[in-house]
Amino acid sequence: MESITTQLKEMVEENKVFKSGKLLKCILGLNVIESNVFSYILKHDDVTTVNLTDVFNKDRSSIQRALIKLSELGVIEKNSISLKEYSEKDGKGETNKRGYLYVYGAKNLDMIKQQLRELLDSWYNSMSGYIDNIDSIFDCYEKDGELC
């Protein structure tokens, strides 16, 4: 596991540009593909799995795993839409299609920002608690002599 100092240094690149993927990794625990999918969904409405596989040149299962993780974190939502309605929105005009399709969209950006702040505050408070009680941590040893 990387130290916080190392992570913070990596977050700010040489030219002092902050990389959002590092923030998403740090706070939400997202990997590269999950971060990329989330960023894409933030910028586009009614995204399908097929759209994402084309954009990122990844297999469907990788995209679906990323969507599941993002959905579990509560930053995107999954909706069902008829193929007919989707075709009309997409501008293809094919109205004879039947069936349904799942589309993904980001939750309200202000809600996402608030959620990230709450996660960061929660982490900060728990780390502060550990630091405040660091003396009791050193008194605790597990079976092999390692710190608890």
CATH value at residue 94? 1.10.10.10
Give the residue, 41 or 138, on which the prediction is more confident.
41
Q: Into how many domains does the chain fold?
A: 1
Residue 145 reports pLDDT greater than 70 = no
Residue 26 banded pLDDT, cuts 50, 70, 90? confident
Q: Tell me: the pLDDT tens digits for 65-110?
A: 999 999 999 899 999 988 887 777 766 656 677 788 899 999 888 8
Left if phi > 0, otherwise alpha if psi is -120 to 50, otherwise beta: which for 78?
Answer: beta
Give the pLDDT score at 138.
Answer: 64
Residue 147 lies in a domain: no
Residue 7 lies in a domain: no
Residues spanned by the domain of 100: 33-116
Phi and psi angles of residue 10, each rounded to the nearest 5 degrees, phi first:
-70, -30
